[in-house]
Amino acid sequence: MFGLFSQKPQWNVSSIPDLSGRVVIVTGGNTGLGFVSCRELARKGARVYMLSRTESRALAAIEKIKKELGPDIDPKVEYINFDLQRLKTGHEAAEEFMKRETRLDILINNAAIMATPYELGPDGIEGQGCNGTGHFALTVPLLPLLKKTAALPESHVRIVNITSIGYKFARFGTPDFSSLEGLNQKSWSTWVRYGISKLSNILFTNELQKRLDQDRIYCVSVHPGPVATELFRGPLESWPFLAPLSRIANIFLHSPEEGALTQLYAATSLEIEEKKLKAVLLFPIAKPTAKVTLAKDKDGKLGVQFWNLCEALVKQKA
């Protein structure tokens, strides 16, 4: 259901170039794909900001990174609070980051929830819908700094939005980003709501690329593949009776180390620029993949709707 890996054996973490002097943000960095991304980017010399909701978990993850990298590497990893379901924290996290740094080279919007029961978050936005709105609230205030960095010599600025092959489930619903009521609409399946949220990640990438096309910034959507991470807590909340099967399912899933390869490729590989992979959708490992019609959004209607709705929500809530 989540897609199998198409191997790209010539690219792995050892292919990540030296990132000394580069500055990175990874959301949801305390566990799973985000944790691996933070660790490997720090290993290559980047200053990494781990954005996470729970400070204690983030600080524990940072200590774990230091331990795993060993005494020969002094990783530069810092924590900033960010809660995907609270738009205000997106703006606050961006402001806090800009107090600390004068450049931003890589933004990996990695945090997400999946297939959770229907519930409105603290801002009145359906939980899975925050997969899109939360990252909008963080990303847009950072755009001036991303543009400034892109204007520097030898810069390679990337915005990487993590989506899922599950975005295709949106076809079984009615994606509506024209209003909060449309975004919050209930569906016959939690997977349809998940698909719509992951579609919004791709639409956001498309719209960002249009608006940043003259700024040497490459925006990429990434489906990481079937990976054993905490993301699967959502389906277990929706269907608790599946819990005994979860251990068996993990046998067929890839490790976070494997799963993080495509987003690390998107964030760091020079092939992104060499092959002009703008607004591309990458499947594992590092494979450009055609989008379905909804995600192509040729007339731009859905992307503009999503952007305008997020702007209005941020203005109201943040």
Q: Which of 217, 144, 158 is nearest to 22 (CA)?
A: 158
Active site residue 278: no
Provide the token pair at 103: 């450049």
The whole-angstrom distance between residue 89's C-alpha and the CA centroid of its chain comes to: 16
Give just the sign of the alpha carbon dihedral 188, 193, 194, 196: positive
Provide the token pair at 188: 């016959």
Active site residue 194: yes
Give the span between the Cα atoms of 4 and 28, in whole angstroms: 23
Give me the catalytic one of 49, 79, 167, 194.
194
Give me the catalytic one of 44, 79, 167, 198.
198
Report the 3 state secondary structure along the chain: CCCCCCCCCCCCHHHCCCCCCCEEEEECCCCHHHHHHHHHHHHCCCEEEEEECCHHHHHHHHHHHHHHHCCCCCCEEEEEECCCCCHHHHHHHHHHHHHHCCCCCEEEECCCCCCCCCCECCCCCEHHHHHHHHHHHHHHHHHHHHHHHHCCCCCCEEEEEECCHHHHHHHHCCCCCCCHHHHCCCCCCHHHHHHHHHHHHHHHHHHHHHHHCCCCEEEEEECCCCECCHHHHHHHHHCHHHHHHHHHHHCCCECHHHHCHHHHHHHHCCHHHHCCCCCEEEECCCEECCCCHHHHCCCCHHHHHHHHHHHHHHHHHC
At which residue do the structure tokens 């806090």 appear?
96
Which residues does the annotation mark as catalytic?
194, 198
